[in-house]
Amino acid sequence: MKVQPTDLERLLTIQEYDSAVVALKHQAAVAPIHARIKALAQDRTTVGDRLIAARTTLSDAEQAVVRAEADVEPVRQRLARNQARVDAGEMDAKALATAVDEIAHLKTRVSDLEDAELAAIDAVDLATATVAALTGEAATVETDLTQALATRDADMAELVDQALQIELKRADLARDIAPDLLGLYDKIRARAGGIGVARFEGRRCLGCALEATVVDFNRYSAAPADELIRCAECDRILVR
């Protein structure tokens, strides 16, 4: 294939543009903000699960308080009735002794039930505090995640804009290159790790970094300036 040396120089610039776009895409793919977002999303799930569990615990504790109050109130009332009968002095000695014994038992029972009620109330207080703390933690995580997403979107938009500007420059320059040469470059680049053209300096192809053999070097050197030369090692287009 016959080529214009100026086309080969333009092709090197095309290669620079293509490599720059690839680099920007890689930068977008491996940006630390992605890991930050992933970690925050996991934190949101973890805190959300803990908050659900804490709210369940709070609900159970509140129900326990209701049950404790329901348990102790009838015993208090019974104790009050028995005490009123004793205080009225209307019972014989045997009935009085029985009532006094029952009052003692009821007082013990009331004390035990009140202790259970206080424990249930303490559990409510603890669960309430836990829910409040986790609610605050969840809000913080949500805020951080929202900010991280906004940062990612802004960063990605900037990288996309940079890539677009480079691609526009590439398109402008590509119009000045022979279509068959540009097509060959694209084919080689697709199968050669993104590099379709490279300079040949000294005796080395800068595409594969391998030094040409004496035979290949002599062939490159003897070729006319408008003849397309490709690296014998990596098959890339060479610019002498």
Question: Do 75 and 39 share a domain, yes or no?
Answer: yes
Domain boundary among 147, 175, 203: 175
Number of domains in the chain: 2
Looking at residue 194, the DSSP 8-state letter turns out to be T
Which amino acid, 121? I
182 and 160 together in one domain: no
Which H or E run contains 85?
helix 32-88
Output the pTM of the full model. Answer: 0.75
Q: Is the same domain home to 121 and 17? A: no
Pick the last residue of a domain from 132, 159, 175.
175
* pLDDT band per the 50, 70, 90 thresholds, residue 209: very high
Same domain, yes or no: 72 and 162? yes
Query: Do 161 and 44 share a structural domain?
Result: yes
Sheet holding 204-205, edge to edge: 204-205, 197-201, 237-239, 229-230
Final residue before a domain boundary, out of 148, 175, 202: 175
Are the C-beta atoms of residues 208 and 217 closer than 8 Å to each other?
no
Question: What is the tens place of the pLDDT at every residue in 108-118?
Answer: 787 778 878 88
Q: What is the CATH number of the domain that holds 128?
A: 1.10.287.1700
- C-alpha distances out from residue 36 to 141, 145, 146, 148, 150, Å: 11, 8, 11, 7, 12
Residues 95 and 2 in one domain: no
Does 182 or 1 have the greater pLDDT score? 182
Residue type, 122: D
Phi, psi of 170, rounded to the nearest 5 degrees = -60, -45
| 5 and 46 both lie in a single domain | no
Residues 103 and 156 placed together within one structural domain of the fold: yes
**Same-domain check for residues 99 and 164:** yes
- State the chain's mean pLDDT as an integer: 92
Q: Does residue 227 surpass a pLDDT of 70?
A: yes
pLDDT tens digits, one per residue of 45-91: 999 999 999 999 999 999 988 888 887 778 687 778 777 777 777 77
How confident is the model at residue 106, as a pLDDT?
A: 73
Length of the chain, please? Answer: 240
CA–CA separation, 63 and 57 (whole Å): 10
Q: Are residues 6 and 37 in the same domain?
A: no
161 shares a domain with 56:
yes
pLDDT band of residue 96 (cuts 50, 70, 90) is low
Give the mean pLDDT of 174-203: 96
Q: In whole angstroms, what is the distance from residue 115 CA to residue 108 CA?
A: 11
Are 144 and 110 in contact by the 8 Å Cβ rule? The answer is no
Question: In terms of residue numbers, what domain contains 130?
Answer: 31-175
145 and 197 belong to one structural domain: no
pLDDT value for 213 = 96
